[in-house]
Amino acid sequence: MTRPNVGENSCQSRLKQYLMTYTKARDRSSPDPNPASQPSDMPKLELDNLPSDVITDILCQLPVKTLLRFRCASKRWRSEIDSPDFIKLYLSHSLATKSNLSLILQRWSDLYSVEFDSVRAATELINPPLKDEICTGVSLSCNGLVAVWKNYRQDQELALWNPSTRKHQILPVMPVEAPKGSTLTTFYGFGHDPISDDYKVVRMVQFDGDHHGSVQVRVYSLKTNSWRGMKDDAIPYFVHNLFPYGRGCGALASGALHWVAPGESGGCCVIVAFDLGVEEFRIVPQPDGVDSGSKVDVVVLEGRLCMLCNYDSGCVDVWVMKEYGLKESWTKVFEVSRDCFDVCSQSSFNRNFGQVKPLAYSKSGDKILLEVDMDKLLWYDFRRKRAERVRIEGAPIPFSADVYVESLVPLGGGGGMDRKTQQPPEEKKKSKRKKIMDDFLSKYFNKLTL
């Protein structure tokens, strides 16, 4: 039973509204320099000098490394920087103003970071945890966190990692319990559920690598630091189609992870979504007017679900679902073709015009950064309809790019010392889920009516 999309949208938008209201409350419409409209759980910094909300504004501009250092300035500053309200505000401010952004370039388990503001800046290498033991996979980032893992047959190690704060948390082991002699195909998804304000990892395993082999789904929640299992009969038939093609960590949009699965016997492919809130699968409708002959992929573009249709003619259409769940809101935002890249050396594009992945709009909105063929980054100018290549010193080839926002989102400890193996997973409890949703709605709804 799926949740109605309306309910899901209004929860998302309430969270956004809350954050917007919070920032608007700090804009003064009266000359009074000490507004009473701040949320009451934010520690007040009444100093002789600058008002506390101005200080908060300034703190939002700073990179995470600086904030972590400035925690030592005074007890009040430490409480403010550590407070959940500031952490949320910092994140939403960074996303809204496109500050404290970078690109993570990934080549297998090697990671490089490139500043977004000056994409020409040389890259740095970051060391994820588990690296010493050859971590084999890194997920897309979400609110400054990534999931990292190494794949063994039975014993899969997973950690959540915040590269900005350099903290990580090793997950309790969830054994795969594969039947003897079977082959496995595994992939992961990672994202944030805004309803319960929880970070979750989804692990999907298929035994026997066969289209109709059995599929096992497990979900980890950071809040409870535990895994939950999904009943076999709760897994719809179309999830099986994700294997063996499924890869990547799913595009996170509106609290759900998305993958593309091939359709039944050569028909149109489908967009499969896993809702991180209710932990259920569903299919997302595609726009009308997409040629079934095109190759489809889904990514996320600035928080919205984005569909890429790659036509053999050397053209890629980019669609964005402006209102999540609403089929009519699919909008073709632009298209790129081989002709647009006349600035670059033609030879690179003579082969089949391959993968194009939009990453982010520029701050002024007149250009979009594209990852092309996993070995180039280009700024595409909408007005001039031309692309400009971005050269990055020290970039790996091939690479997969991901937009990363710095954040202070906390992770417990950093050790793997007392890693526990979990007992057989609990089945999820629907009533508990509903209570979390009700609590969230009443809490945030009350804050909105301040």
Residue 61 beta carbon to another protein: minimum distance, rounded to whole angstroms:
3
Nearer to another protein, 29 or 423 (CB): 29
Instruction: Report if residue 117 touches another protein, rule: CB under 8 A.
Output: no
Q: Which of 105, 5, 13, 80 is nearest to 326 (CA)?
A: 5
Taking the C-alpha atoms of residue 421 and residue 130, their distance in angstroms, rounded to an integer, is: 17
Nearer to another protein, 16 or 75 (CB): 75
The residue type at 253: A
Inter-axis angle of helices 75-82 and 84-97, to 10 degrees? 60
3-state secondary structure of 152: coil
Residue 62 beta carbon to another protein: minimum distance, rounded to whole angstroms:
5
Interface stretch with another protein, choices 60-68, 111-119, 134-142, 343-351 (CB under 8 A): 60-68
The residue type at 176: V
| Sole binder of another protein in the list 43, 63, 262, 287 (CB under 8 A) | 63
Instruction: Report if residue 364 touches another protein, rule: CB under 8 A.
Output: yes
Using CB under 8 A as the binding rule, the residues of this chain from 136 to 175 that contact another protein are 165-166
Residue 420, C-beta contacts closer than 8 angstroms, at least 6 positions apart: 172, 173
Interface stretch with another protein, choices 3-11, 76-84, 339-347, 398-406 (CB under 8 A): 76-84
Nearer to another protein, 290 or 333 (CB): 333
Instruction: Report if residue 74 touches another protein, rule: CB under 8 A.
Output: yes
Interface stretch with another protein, choices 59-67, 314-322, 326-334, 395-403 (CB under 8 A): 59-67
Annotate each residue in 381-400 with x if it binds another protein (CB under 8 A) or - if it does not, as one string: --x-----------------
CB-CB contact of 377 with 392 (8 Å): yes
CB-CB contact of 111 with 399 (8 Å): no
Residue 92 beta carbon to another protein: minimum distance, rounded to whole angstroms:
16
Taking the C-alpha atoms of residue 64 and residue 308, their distance in angstroms, rounded to an integer, is: 33
Taking the C-alpha atoms of residue 429 and residue 357, their distance in angstroms, rounded to an integer, is: 38
| Sole binder of another protein in the list 10, 13, 66, 446 (CB under 8 A) | 66
Instruction: Report if residue 55 touches another protein, rule: CB under 8 A.
Output: yes
Count of C-beta atoms within a 10 Å radius of residue 87: 18
Q: Phi-psi bin for 90: left (phi > 0), alpha (psi -120 to 50), beta?
A: alpha
Instruction: Report if residue 28 touches another protein, rule: CB under 8 A.
Output: yes
Annotate each residue in 365-384 with x if it binds another protein (CB under 8 A) or - if it does not, as one string: -x----------------x-
Both tokens assigned to 2 = 């799926």
Nearer to another protein, 65 or 385 (CB): 65
Nearer to another protein, 42 or 176 (CB): 42
Do the bridges between strand 367-372 and strand 376-381 make them parallel or antiparallel, or are there none, so unpaired? Answer: antiparallel
Taking the C-alpha atoms of residue 353 and residue 207, their distance in angstroms, rounded to an integer, is: 35
Find the angle CA(138)-CA(140)-CA(141) to the nearest 5 degrees: 105
| Sole binder of another protein in the list 69, 153, 419, 443 (CB under 8 A) | 69
Taking the C-alpha atoms of residue 290 and residue 301, their distance in angstroms, rounded to an integer, is: 19
Instruction: Report if residue 65 touches another protein, rule: CB under 8 A.
Output: yes
- The owner of tokens 């000490």 is 34
Instruction: Report if residue 57 touches another protein, rule: CB under 8 A.
Output: yes
Cα of 261 vs its chain's centroid, Å: 20
Using CB under 8 A as the binding rule, the residues of this chain from 167 to 226 that contact another protein are none
Taking the C-alpha atoms of residue 33 and residue 12, their distance in angstroms, rounded to an integer, is: 32
Residue 96, C-beta contacts closer than 8 angstroms, at least 6 positions apart: none
Residue 161 beta carbon to another protein: minimum distance, rounded to whole angstroms:
15
Instruction: Report if residue 48 touches another protein, rule: CB under 8 A.
Output: yes
Annotate each residue in 302-321 with x if it binds another protein (CB under 8 A) or - if it does not, as one string: --------------------
Footprint on this chain of another protein (rule: CB under 8 A): 27-31, 33, 47-51, 54-55, 57-58, 60-63, 65-66, 68-78, 165-166, 364, 366, 383
